[in-house]
């Protein structure tokens, strides 16, 4: 039986290391792109430079996006006011009155569309509602709430 040489061990370890590096690269690319998908491209948030940025997110939060045409979306799915009301009501039954709601309105959206989303939440009994805005104008997407 042949005794393995030192070269055999080195080439095997190097191949495994390259595989691990590629897997790590893929992992980081996928997770970084998932973080950017949180914000809908149809919504251009207003800029609020003097607001404190949100550092930790609550997994119970419901984000309602209102586009410039007044259409509402939850997780990129268009919803009507009655559907929004029922989603919020279900969340209140499951998590309680402190369910975090964030309304992110397009900078060109009419106030009546934002008001409809607010009214749907207050009809169910949620009165602490946050509004989403961008901390800085331009390509940097620091999210803040007011």
Nearest C-alpha neighbor of 144 from the set 136, 33, 133: 133
Q: What is the pLDDT of residue 12?
A: 57
Nearest of 50, 51, 73, 52 to residue 63 by alpha carbon: 73
Supply the pLDDT for residue 45.
Answer: 64
The whole-number pLDDT of residue 51 equals: 62
pTM score over 0.75: no
pLDDT recorded at residue 15 = 72
Distances 92 to 23, 96, 110, 126 between C-alpha atoms, Å = 40, 4, 27, 8
CB 134 within 8 A of CB 48: yes
The DSSP output letter for 98 is: T
CATH 3.10.129.10 describes domain 62-145: no
pLDDT along the chain (146 residues), means of 10: 60 70 78 56 64 68 88 90 92 88 86 90 88 62 50
Check if the beta carbon of residue 120 is closer than 8 Å to that of residue 88. Answer: yes
What pLDDT sits at residue 130? 86
The domain locations on the chain are 1-37, 62-145
For residue 142, what pLDDT is reported? 47
Output the pLDDT for position 40: 59
pLDDT for 7 equals 58
pLDDT at site 139: 44
Task: Tabulate helix, strand, coil % of the chain (nearest 5).
Answer: 40, 20, 40
């Amino acid at each position: 039986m042949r005794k393995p040489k030192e070269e055999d061990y080195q080439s095997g370890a190097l191949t495994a290391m390259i595989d691990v590096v590629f897997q790590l690269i893929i992992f980081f690319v996928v997770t970084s792109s998932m973080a950017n998908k949180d914000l809908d491209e149809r919504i251009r948030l207003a800029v609020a430079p003097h607001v404190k940025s949100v550092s930790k997110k609550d997994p119970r939060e419901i984000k309602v996006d209102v586009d410039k045409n007044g259409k509402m979306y939850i997780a990129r799915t268009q919803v009507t006011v009655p559907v929004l009301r029922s989603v919020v009501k279900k969340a209140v039954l499951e998590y309680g009155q402190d369910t975090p709601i964030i309304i992110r309105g397009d900078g060109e959206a009419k106030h009546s569309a934002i008001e409809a989303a607010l009214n749907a939440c207050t009809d169910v009994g949620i009165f602490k509602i946050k509004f989403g805005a961008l901390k800085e104008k331009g390509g940097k997407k620091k999210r803040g709430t007011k």
